Amino acid sequence: MLHIVDDEDVIRDALEWLAQSRGLAARGYAGGQAFLDALGSQRDAGGAQSGECVLLDVRMPGMNGIAVFDQLVARGLLARLPVIFLTGHGEVPMAVDSLKRGAFDFFEKPFNDNQLMDRVEEALAKSRQAAASSAVHERLATLSAREREVLDLILAGNMNKVVADKLGISMRTVEVHRAHIFDKMQVKTAVELAGLLK
């Protein structure tokens, strides 16, 4: 989902159309607070998307783009919600400072439509990767200490009998742990598990 935060209706509509021409879902917001409110209610409802990006105008009445960016930074959302700033002339130093603080990119108006959409697609790919990585870490956190030990030995290429010998447990117990690990990590084979955790 591409979130377009700009107070100018014409720009929002043009960017939504441009995104849709690339097959990307897009939603426009007339201001920073409207975007943050929608973002908060979406996450409260468990609706965090996989693959999100924000096109954020710097200069808006009320809450400007830098203030919105600061909120996203404070909430730790930049990895899963990369920000591309849209800036006017004279705002470039501000945008460069934001890049140093984690913004994905910035474009000065008027911008090249294709270059902007190429960067949006790169930001969406980065967001999907961050979401997938976060999901894997969440699954890892559900493993017990013993399951983590078994997991490490499986990933090292040990057969069940070797794992049992190293941990001083029965082979049947290793099989049970292995089944629980595969179930919790949502994989069917050790090869798939290794690929997920590489």
Q: Label residues 148-169 b or e (16+ Cβ within 10 Å = b).
A: ebbbebbeeebebeebbeeeeb
> In this predicted model, which residue has the larger pLDDT, 40 or 175?
175
Instruction: Tell me what pLDDT residue 183 has.
Output: 93
Residues of the chain with pLDDT > 70: what percent? 94
Quick: pLDDT tens for 59-83.
899 999 999 999 999 998 888 899 9
Domain covering 142-197 in this structure, CATH number: 1.10.10.10
> In this predicted model, which residue has the larger pLDDT, 135 or 33?
33
For residue 105, what is the enclosing H or E element?
A: strand 105-108
- The residues of the chain that CATH labels 1.10.10.10 are 142-197
- The residues of the chain that CATH labels 3.40.50.2300 are 2-131
Q: What predicted TM-score, i.e. pTM, was given to this entire model? A: 0.73
Looking at domain 2-131, its CATH superfamily turns out to be Response regulator (3.40.50.2300)
